[in-house]
Copies of this chain bind each other. A is one copy, B any other.
Amino acid sequence: MNIGIDTMGGDFAPLEALRGVKKYLSQNEGNGIQLTLFGDEAAIKEIIAEEQIPEEQVTVVATTQIIGMHEHPTKALKEKTDSSIAVGFQYLAKGKTNAFVSAGNTGAMLVGTLFSIKTIEGILRPVISSIIPKKNGGTGLVLDVGLNADCKPEQLNQFATLGAVYAKHILEIPHPKVGLINVGEEEGKGNILTQGAYPLLKENRNIRFIGNIEGRDLFNDKADIMVCDGFTGNIILKLAESIYDISTAEALNNSYLNRFNFEIYGGTPVLGVEHPVVVGHGISKATAFSNMILVAEKMLQTDVLQKLKEAVQQS
C-alpha cells in the first residue's frame, strides 16, 4: 500500500510534514506501507538527510508549484497543474498511490477530491467529519463539518450510516449511538431539514439511532455519531476549536480542555469517495502529520471504504 503525502501543505511545510513522516516511520518501520512525498525535491532531500529519515519506504516525486493557503481552490488547481496537491491527486486517480494526505489549502483538497476521485456508488454526496472530545474520555464524531452547506434529509441519513461504519472500524466504537443535532429533544422538533431527517434515521437499520441531541450534548455521552448539515457542523467545529484557544490564552492546562487541541487527531477524512483522502489543519506539526498518515493507513488496512459501500447499498 502506498500513501501520498503533500509535503508543501501547511504553515510549517515542508519541515514538519517530513518530521511527521519520520515520526510515523519510527513507529511503523517495515510495515510494508510505502510513502510517496510530493514537493520540492531539493528541499525534501535536504531534510531527509538532515533528519536522517530512513529512505526504504519513501519515494520522492518532484513538483514545482505550491498552492497557497489563501488561493482560490478551483482556479489554483486548474492553473497549477504541477503543484504538490494537483500531482498528488493525479497519482491517486491513476492508482499509483492508494491514499492522499495534506495539510494544505483545504478548499483545494476538497475540490481536488470531488473532481479527481470517484464518489462511491450509492453515495449522494461525500462528507467531512471531525472528532469531538467527549467528557467521558472517549471521542465522538460530527459530520458533515463543511462539505455540504445545504443538505436534504436523505443526506443526513446517509451521513449517519457513513459515520457509524467509520466509528466502528476506525474509532473502534463497537455499537456507536447516532444522534441528530437539533433544537429540542422530542421527535417533531427542529427545522424543515431535521424534521425530515428524523423519520429516516428512525427507520435506518444500519444505525443505532438515539433521537435528537442538542448543543449542550456535544460533549456528553448521549451520542457517538452526531449528524447535521455542513453549515451547522462547520460552526460547531470552529467553535469547539476556539475552546482550545481560550484554554491556551487563559493558561488553564486542563487535561480535558487540552483534548480540544485538534492537532492530536490528525486531520479530517473525506468520506464517501473511493480512496482515503485526509485533510489536515494548516497549523499541523509533526504529530498531526504522523496521525494523518496513521488515519489513512487504518482506513486502508480495515478496508473501511468497502464497508461504507456495503452499508450504503444495504440501506
Q: Which residues of A contact B (CB under 8 A)?
A: 135, 146, 149-150, 181, 183, 190-192, 194, 214-220, 229-232, 234-243, 245-246, 249-250, 252, 254, 256-257
Contacts and interface: CB of A to CB of B under 8 A. Distances in A.
A192 B151 CA distance: 10
B190 A215 contact: no
Contacts of A245: 216
Contact of A246 (B150, B214, B230, B256): B256
B149 A191 contact: yes
A123 B259 CA distance: 44
A235 B254 contact: no
Nearest to A72: B186
A191 B231 CA distance: 7
Nearest to A254: B250
Given A150-B192, A235-B232, A242 B216 contact: yes
Given A149-B183, A150-B191, A183-B234, A241 B216 contact: yes
Contacts of A234: 183, 214-215
A125 to B, nearest CB: 14
B215 A239 contact: yes
Nearest to A239: B215
A122 B21 CA distance: 61
Contacts of A230: 183
A230 B239 CA distance: 17
A192 B252 CA distance: 39
Contacts of A150: 191-192
Contacts of A181: 235
A238 B252 contact: no
Given A231-B191, A239-B216, A246 B135 contact: yes
Contacts of A216: 238-239, 241-242, 245
A250 B239 contact: no
B191 A215 contact: no
Contacts of A238: 214-216
B235 A183 contact: yes
A215 B236 contact: yes
A237 B216 CA distance: 8
Given A192-B150, A250-B254, A215 B231 contact: no
A221 B190 CA distance: 30
Given A191-B150, A250-B254, A219 B242 contact: yes
Closest 8 CB pairs of A and B: A215-B238, A149-B191, A215-B239, A215-B235, A216-B238, A183-B234, A216-B242, A191-B231
